[in-house]
Structure 1
Amino acid sequence: MFYGAIVWDPWLIVAQIVCLQSLYYVTLGGFTSILVGTRVSRMSLVYFFDYATVTTSTVTGWCVIASFVFSSILGAVYMLYLVERAKKCLDFSATIYIIHLFICIVYGGWPSSITWWVVNGSGIAAMALLGEYLCIRREMRDIPIARYRSIA
Protein backbone atom coordinates (compact mmCIF):
# COMPACT_ATOMS: atom_id res chain seq x y z
CA MET A 1 0.00 0.00 0.00
CA PHE A 2 1.38 3.39 -0.94
CA TYR A 3 0.94 6.19 1.59
CA GLY A 4 1.95 9.19 -0.53
CA ALA A 5 -1.51 10.13 -1.70
CA ILE A 6 -3.90 10.41 1.22
CA VAL A 7 -7.26 8.97 0.28
CA TRP A 8 -10.07 9.02 2.80
CA ASP A 9 -11.87 5.71 2.52
CA PRO A 10 -14.62 5.41 5.15
CA TRP A 11 -15.42 1.80 4.23
CA LEU A 12 -11.83 0.80 4.89
CA ILE A 13 -11.88 2.55 8.26
CA VAL A 14 -15.15 0.88 9.26
CA ALA A 15 -13.83 -2.51 8.14
CA GLN A 16 -10.65 -2.00 10.16
CA ILE A 17 -12.66 -1.02 13.25
CA VAL A 18 -14.96 -4.04 12.90
CA CYS A 19 -12.00 -6.38 12.41
CA LEU A 20 -10.07 -4.96 15.36
CA GLN A 21 -13.12 -5.01 17.64
CA SER A 22 -13.94 -8.58 16.65
CA LEU A 23 -10.36 -9.75 17.14
CA TYR A 24 -10.21 -7.97 20.49
CA TYR A 25 -13.30 -9.78 21.76
CA VAL A 26 -12.19 -13.14 20.33
CA THR A 27 -8.85 -12.72 22.08
CA LEU A 28 -10.54 -11.56 25.28
CA GLY A 29 -12.82 -14.59 25.11
CA GLY A 30 -9.90 -16.92 24.63
CA PHE A 31 -7.91 -15.53 27.54
CA THR A 32 -11.01 -15.34 29.74
CA SER A 33 -11.94 -18.94 29.02
CA ILE A 34 -8.39 -20.06 29.83
CA LEU A 35 -7.82 -17.93 32.93
CA VAL A 36 -11.32 -17.50 34.36
CA GLY A 37 -13.01 -20.61 32.94
CA THR A 38 -10.91 -22.87 35.12
CA ARG A 39 -12.03 -21.00 38.26
CA VAL A 40 -15.78 -20.65 37.74
CA SER A 41 -18.51 -23.21 37.15
CA ARG A 42 -20.18 -21.35 34.28
CA MET A 43 -18.77 -18.79 31.84
CA SER A 44 -20.88 -15.75 31.04
CA LEU A 45 -20.69 -12.38 29.33
CA VAL A 46 -20.57 -10.86 32.78
CA TYR A 47 -16.78 -11.31 32.75
CA PHE A 48 -16.55 -9.23 29.57
CA PHE A 49 -18.93 -6.37 30.23
CA ASP A 50 -19.73 -6.07 33.95
CA TYR A 51 -17.44 -3.71 35.81
CA ALA A 52 -17.99 -5.57 39.10
CA THR A 53 -15.95 -8.57 37.90
CA VAL A 54 -12.84 -6.42 37.42
CA THR A 55 -11.65 -6.44 41.00
CA THR A 56 -8.44 -6.95 42.92
CA SER A 57 -10.12 -8.57 45.92
CA THR A 58 -10.47 -12.06 44.41
CA VAL A 59 -8.27 -14.37 42.38
CA THR A 60 -10.98 -14.56 39.71
CA GLY A 61 -10.92 -10.76 39.48
CA TRP A 62 -7.16 -10.83 38.94
CA CYS A 63 -7.69 -13.40 36.18
CA VAL A 64 -10.21 -11.08 34.52
CA ILE A 65 -7.70 -8.22 34.77
CA ALA A 66 -4.97 -10.39 33.24
CA SER A 67 -7.33 -11.31 30.39
CA PHE A 68 -7.89 -7.63 29.61
CA VAL A 69 -4.17 -6.84 29.76
CA PHE A 70 -3.18 -9.75 27.49
CA SER A 71 -5.95 -8.82 25.05
CA SER A 72 -4.71 -5.25 24.80
CA ILE A 73 -1.17 -6.47 24.11
CA LEU A 74 -2.38 -8.74 21.33
CA GLY A 75 -4.57 -5.89 20.07
CA ALA A 76 -1.38 -3.94 19.40
CA VAL A 77 -0.09 -6.82 17.30
CA TYR A 78 -3.38 -6.88 15.38
CA MET A 79 -2.97 -3.17 14.66
CA LEU A 80 0.46 -3.84 13.22
CA TYR A 81 -1.14 -5.91 10.49
CA LEU A 82 -4.52 -4.18 10.06
CA VAL A 83 -3.76 -0.48 10.56
CA GLU A 84 -0.07 -0.42 9.55
CA ARG A 85 0.41 3.24 10.48
CA ALA A 86 1.84 4.47 13.78
CA LYS A 87 -0.07 7.75 13.69
CA LYS A 88 -3.41 5.88 13.55
CA CYS A 89 -2.79 3.52 16.48
CA LEU A 90 -4.09 5.87 19.18
CA ASP A 91 -7.25 6.56 17.19
CA PHE A 92 -8.04 2.89 16.68
CA SER A 93 -7.16 1.98 20.28
CA ALA A 94 -9.43 4.71 21.61
CA THR A 95 -12.21 3.58 19.26
CA ILE A 96 -11.99 -0.01 20.51
CA TYR A 97 -12.22 1.04 24.14
CA ILE A 98 -14.96 3.64 23.56
CA ILE A 99 -17.09 1.00 21.85
CA HIS A 100 -16.31 -1.34 24.76
CA LEU A 101 -17.38 1.38 27.22
CA PHE A 102 -20.71 1.83 25.42
CA ILE A 103 -21.35 -1.92 25.45
CA CYS A 104 -20.50 -2.04 29.16
CA ILE A 105 -22.90 0.83 29.88
CA VAL A 106 -25.71 -0.94 28.02
CA TYR A 107 -24.93 -4.27 29.71
CA GLY A 108 -24.36 -3.27 33.33
CA GLY A 109 -24.63 0.49 33.73
CA TRP A 110 -22.01 3.16 34.18
CA PRO A 111 -18.75 1.63 35.49
CA SER A 112 -18.34 2.98 39.02
CA SER A 113 -15.33 0.87 39.93
CA ILE A 114 -11.99 2.67 39.94
CA THR A 115 -10.31 -0.65 39.15
CA TRP A 116 -12.31 -0.95 35.93
CA TRP A 117 -11.19 2.52 34.83
CA VAL A 118 -7.53 1.83 35.72
CA VAL A 119 -7.52 -1.50 33.87
CA ASN A 120 -9.15 -0.07 30.74
CA GLY A 121 -7.06 3.11 30.83
CA SER A 122 -3.92 1.00 31.11
CA GLY A 123 -5.21 -1.22 28.32
CA ILE A 124 -5.74 1.66 25.92
CA ALA A 125 -2.30 3.07 26.77
CA ALA A 126 -0.58 -0.28 26.32
CA MET A 127 -2.38 -0.99 23.05
CA ALA A 128 -1.67 2.44 21.61
CA LEU A 129 1.97 2.67 22.70
CA LEU A 130 2.91 -0.88 21.78
CA GLY A 131 1.03 -0.58 18.49
CA GLU A 132 2.87 2.65 17.66
CA TYR A 133 6.20 1.10 18.61
CA LEU A 134 5.62 -1.96 16.41
CA CYS A 135 4.38 0.13 13.48
CA ILE A 136 7.32 2.54 13.74
CA ARG A 137 9.74 -0.38 13.72
CA ARG A 138 8.10 -1.67 10.56
CA GLU A 139 8.05 1.77 8.92
CA MET A 140 11.75 2.33 9.69
CA ARG A 141 12.99 -0.85 8.00
CA ASP A 142 15.32 -0.45 5.08
CA ILE A 143 13.77 -0.62 1.63
CA PRO A 144 15.59 -3.22 -0.46
CA ILE A 145 16.66 -1.59 -3.71
CA ALA A 146 18.29 -4.42 -5.59
CA ARG A 147 18.56 -7.95 -4.43
CA TYR A 148 21.36 -9.09 -6.76
CA ARG A 149 23.38 -5.93 -7.08
CA SER A 150 26.97 -6.37 -8.11
CA ILE A 151 29.65 -4.75 -5.98
CA ALA A 152 32.10 -2.83 -8.20
Structure 2
Amino acid sequence: MFYGAVVWDPYLIVAQIVCLQCLYYLTLGVFMGILVGTRVSRMSLVYFFDYATVTASTITGWCVIAAFVLSSFSGAVYMLYFIERSKKCLDFSATLYIIHLFVCIIYGGWPSSITWWVVNGSGVAVMVLLGERLCKKRELREIPIARYRSKEREKREARDEG
Protein backbone atom coordinates (compact mmCIF):
# COMPACT_ATOMS: atom_id res chain seq x y z
CA MET A 1 0.00 0.00 0.00
CA PHE A 2 2.59 2.59 1.09
CA TYR A 3 5.43 0.90 -0.77
CA GLY A 4 7.04 3.62 -2.81
CA ALA A 5 10.20 4.55 -4.63
CA VAL A 6 13.64 3.80 -3.31
CA VAL A 7 14.24 7.46 -2.47
CA TRP A 8 13.96 8.57 1.13
CA ASP A 9 10.49 9.96 1.75
CA PRO A 10 10.00 11.32 5.28
CA TYR A 11 6.27 11.92 4.78
CA LEU A 12 5.78 8.29 3.82
CA ILE A 13 7.76 7.11 6.85
CA VAL A 14 5.77 9.32 9.24
CA ALA A 15 2.51 8.17 7.65
CA GLN A 16 3.56 4.53 8.09
CA ILE A 17 4.51 5.11 11.74
CA VAL A 18 1.24 6.90 12.51
CA CYS A 19 -0.80 4.27 10.70
CA LEU A 20 0.96 1.38 12.44
CA GLN A 21 0.70 3.04 15.87
CA CYS A 22 -3.01 3.79 15.45
CA LEU A 23 -3.81 0.29 14.23
CA TYR A 24 -1.78 -1.22 17.09
CA TYR A 25 -3.71 0.76 19.71
CA LEU A 26 -7.01 0.09 17.99
CA THR A 27 -6.30 -3.64 18.03
CA LEU A 28 -5.06 -3.45 21.61
CA GLY A 29 -8.32 -1.71 22.51
CA VAL A 30 -10.38 -4.44 20.88
CA PHE A 31 -8.45 -7.18 22.67
CA MET A 32 -8.57 -5.27 25.97
CA GLY A 33 -12.32 -4.84 25.55
CA ILE A 34 -12.81 -8.54 24.92
CA LEU A 35 -10.38 -9.93 27.50
CA VAL A 36 -10.26 -7.29 30.23
CA GLY A 37 -13.57 -5.49 29.72
CA THR A 38 -15.51 -8.57 30.73
CA ARG A 39 -13.59 -8.80 34.02
CA VAL A 40 -13.62 -5.19 35.24
CA SER A 41 -16.49 -2.82 35.95
CA ARG A 42 -14.98 0.10 34.04
CA MET A 43 -12.37 0.13 31.28
CA SER A 44 -9.86 2.96 31.28
CA LEU A 45 -6.50 3.93 29.85
CA VAL A 46 -4.86 2.51 32.96
CA TYR A 47 -4.89 -0.93 31.33
CA PHE A 48 -3.12 0.44 28.25
CA PHE A 49 -0.44 2.65 29.77
CA ASP A 50 0.07 1.86 33.46
CA TYR A 51 2.78 -0.71 34.07
CA ALA A 52 1.12 -1.88 37.30
CA THR A 53 -1.74 -3.54 35.39
CA VAL A 54 0.67 -5.81 33.51
CA THR A 55 1.07 -8.42 36.21
CA ALA A 56 1.13 -12.17 36.41
CA SER A 57 -0.38 -12.26 39.89
CA THR A 58 -4.04 -11.78 38.89
CA ILE A 59 -6.29 -13.17 36.20
CA THR A 60 -7.03 -9.65 34.98
CA GLY A 61 -3.27 -9.08 34.68
CA TRP A 62 -2.96 -12.21 32.58
CA CYS A 63 -5.76 -10.91 30.35
CA VAL A 64 -3.84 -7.63 29.92
CA ILE A 65 -0.71 -9.63 29.02
CA ALA A 66 -2.68 -11.69 26.51
CA ALA A 67 -4.08 -8.52 24.92
CA PHE A 68 -0.57 -7.10 24.48
CA VAL A 69 0.76 -10.34 22.98
CA LEU A 70 -2.17 -10.70 20.59
CA SER A 71 -1.70 -7.08 19.53
CA SER A 72 1.92 -7.86 18.70
CA PHE A 73 0.80 -10.65 16.38
CA SER A 74 -1.67 -8.26 14.77
CA GLY A 75 1.04 -5.63 14.43
CA ALA A 76 3.15 -8.08 12.45
CA VAL A 77 0.26 -8.59 10.04
CA TYR A 78 -0.20 -4.81 9.74
CA MET A 79 3.46 -4.50 8.81
CA LEU A 80 2.91 -6.96 6.00
CA TYR A 81 0.42 -4.55 4.42
CA PHE A 82 1.79 -1.12 5.39
CA ILE A 83 5.56 -1.56 5.62
CA GLU A 84 5.93 -4.37 3.06
CA ARG A 85 9.71 -4.70 3.47
CA SER A 86 11.30 -7.26 5.77
CA LYS A 87 14.39 -5.13 6.36
CA LYS A 88 12.23 -2.32 7.79
CA CYS A 89 10.31 -4.46 10.31
CA LEU A 90 12.84 -4.01 13.11
CA ASP A 91 12.87 -0.23 12.68
CA PHE A 92 9.11 0.17 12.68
CA SER A 93 8.54 -2.29 15.55
CA ALA A 94 11.16 -0.62 17.70
CA THR A 95 9.68 2.79 16.90
CA LEU A 96 6.20 1.61 17.86
CA TYR A 97 7.36 0.27 21.22
CA ILE A 98 9.60 3.28 21.96
CA ILE A 99 6.62 5.57 21.38
CA HIS A 100 4.57 3.27 23.63
CA LEU A 101 7.29 3.50 26.31
CA PHE A 102 7.22 7.31 26.15
CA VAL A 103 3.44 7.39 26.45
CA CYS A 104 3.64 5.00 29.42
CA ILE A 105 6.26 7.19 31.10
CA ILE A 106 4.08 10.28 30.64
CA TYR A 107 0.98 8.44 31.88
CA GLY A 108 2.27 6.45 34.83
CA GLY A 109 5.98 7.03 35.30
CA TRP A 110 8.97 4.84 34.52
CA PRO A 111 7.88 1.17 34.28
CA SER A 112 9.50 -0.52 37.25
CA SER A 113 7.75 -3.86 36.80
CA ILE A 114 9.89 -6.61 35.31
CA THR A 115 6.72 -8.18 33.92
CA TRP A 116 6.02 -5.04 31.89
CA TRP A 117 9.51 -5.17 30.38
CA VAL A 118 9.25 -8.88 29.59
CA VAL A 119 5.82 -8.51 27.97
CA ASN A 120 6.86 -5.54 25.86
CA GLY A 121 10.24 -7.03 24.98
CA SER A 122 8.46 -10.20 23.89
CA GLY A 123 6.01 -8.07 21.94
CA VAL A 124 8.83 -6.40 20.03
CA ALA A 125 10.40 -9.78 19.31
CA VAL A 126 7.14 -11.29 18.10
CA MET A 127 6.33 -8.30 15.92
CA VAL A 128 9.82 -8.17 14.38
CA LEU A 129 10.27 -11.88 13.76
CA LEU A 130 6.77 -12.59 12.50
CA GLY A 131 6.66 -9.36 10.49
CA GLU A 132 10.00 -10.19 8.84
CA ARG A 133 8.85 -13.72 8.10
CA LEU A 134 5.58 -12.58 6.53
CA CYS A 135 7.22 -9.80 4.51
CA LYS A 136 10.06 -12.05 3.37
CA LYS A 137 7.55 -14.67 2.25
CA ARG A 138 5.79 -12.04 0.16
CA GLU A 139 9.07 -10.65 -1.21
CA LEU A 140 10.23 -14.09 -2.30
CA ARG A 141 7.04 -14.99 -4.14
CA GLU A 142 7.59 -15.87 -7.73
CA ILE A 143 6.52 -13.27 -10.24
CA PRO A 144 4.29 -15.00 -12.81
CA ILE A 145 5.68 -13.29 -15.91
CA ALA A 146 5.11 -16.21 -18.31
CA ARG A 147 1.38 -16.19 -17.63
CA TYR A 148 1.09 -12.51 -18.54
CA ARG A 149 3.15 -12.96 -21.68
CA SER A 150 0.92 -15.76 -22.93
CA LYS A 151 -2.21 -13.66 -22.35
CA GLU A 152 -0.65 -10.74 -24.18
CA ARG A 153 0.33 -13.04 -27.06
CA GLU A 154 -3.23 -14.43 -27.23
CA LYS A 155 -4.64 -10.90 -27.37
CA ARG A 156 -2.21 -9.93 -30.14
CA GLU A 157 -2.99 -13.05 -32.15
CA ALA A 158 -6.70 -12.47 -31.76
CA ARG A 159 -6.32 -8.85 -32.81
CA ASP A 160 -4.17 -9.79 -35.81
CA GLU A 161 -6.69 -12.39 -36.97
CA GLY A 162 -9.69 -10.12 -36.59
Aligned partner of 1:99 in structure 2 is 99
Q: CA deviation at 1:6?
A: 2.3
Aligned partner of 2:108 in structure 1 is 108
What RMSD in Å do the two structures reach over aligned CA positions? Answer: 1.6
SS of corresponding position for 1:89: helix
Flag as ranges the 4+ runs of structure 1 deviating above 6 A. none
Q: CA deviation at 1:122?
A: 0.1
Q: Partner letter of residue 145 of structure 1? A: I
Aligned partner of 2:159 in structure 1 is none
SS of corresponding position for 1:42: coil
Give the fraction of aligned pairs with identical amino acids, expressed as a percent.
Answer: 81
Q: CA deviation at 1:28?
A: 0.2
SS of corresponding position for 1:147: helix
Which string of whole-angstrom CA distances, capped at 9 and with x for unpartnered residues, describes residues 112-146 of structure 1?
00000000000000000000000000000000113
Q: Partner letter of residue 85 of structure 1? A: R
**In the aligned structure 2, how far is the partner of 1:40 from the partner of 1:90?**
35
Question: Is residue 80 of structure 1 aligned with residue 119 of structure 2?
Answer: no
Larger radius of gyration: 2
Give the number of the structure whose residues are more often helix, by fraction: 2
Question: Is residue 134 of structure 1 aligned with residue 148 of structure 2?
Answer: no
Q: Partner letter of residue 25 of structure 1? A: Y
Q: CA deviation at 1:147?
A: 1.7
Q: List alignment gaps of at least 5 residues for structure 2.
A: 152-162
Q: List alignment gaps of at least 5 residues for structure 1.
A: none
**In the aligned structure 1, how far is the partner of 2:72 from the partner of 2:22?**
13
SS of corresponding position for 2:77: helix
Distance 1:140 1:111, change over 3 A: same
Q: How many residues align?
A: 149
Distance 1:125 1:4, change over 3 A: same
Distance 1:40 1:4, change over 3 A: closer
TM-score of the superposed pair, with normalisation by structure 2? 0.89
Which string of whole-angstrom CA distances, capped at 9 and with x for unpartnered residues, describes residues 40-73 of structure 1?
0000000000000000000000000000000000
Q: Partner letter of residue 104 of structure 1? A: C
**In the aligned structure 2, how far is the partner of 1:5 from the partner of 1:39?**
47
**In the aligned structure 2, how far is the partner of 1:21 from the partner of 1:133?**
20
